Structure 1
Amino acid sequence: MNRRKKVNQILKKKAKKANDKLNPKSKPRYISKPERAKLGQEAGEQVPVTSPTDKK
């Protein structure tokens, strides 16, 4: 690989990484199985109490 191509490749890679950091992530953060189970238990305990409404 010639020197000019190699330098351009490195600069493009660096610019792409910088651009990726600025843009928001499209995927949600990964949550492991134990954390999901813990969150599920907490959500189950904190069930909001609502009064029943009459539907006609």
Structure 2
Amino acid sequence: MNRRKKINQLLKAHAKKASAKLAPRSKPKYICKADRLKMAEQAALEADPAPQA
């Protein structure tokens, strides 16, 4: 492989990685199990507030 082809190959690879970073994400961000439970508790409290009398 000659020098020019090798350099072009590296430049293309770097450009591809850079454009992939800028592309929108298709997967939602991971939320740990403990945080999911906290969010579920908060949603349950907001949706059904029990009267405290």
Residue matched to 1:29: 29
Does residue 8 in structure 1 map to residue 35 in structure 2?
A: no
Question: Please, which runs of 5 or more residues in structure 2 have no aligned partner?
Answer: none
Q: Counting helix residues as a fraction of each chain, which structure ranks higher?
A: 2
Question: Please, which runs of 5 or more residues in structure 1 have no aligned partner?
Answer: 50-56
**SS of equivalent residue, structure 1 residue 31:** coil
**SS of equivalent residue, structure 2 residue 14:** helix
The normalised TM-score by structure 2 is: 0.69
Structure 1 stretches (4+) deviating beyond 3 angstroms?
A: 1-6
Cα RMSD of the aligned pairs, angstroms, is 2.0
1:43 to 1:8, Cα distance in 2 relative to 1, 3 A: same
Report the residue type matching 1:10 in the other structure: L
Distance in 2 (CA, whole Å) between partners of 1:14 and 1:48 is 52
The aligned length equals 49
The normalised TM-score by structure 1 is: 0.66
Distance in 2 (CA, whole Å) between partners of 1:41 and 1:6 is 56
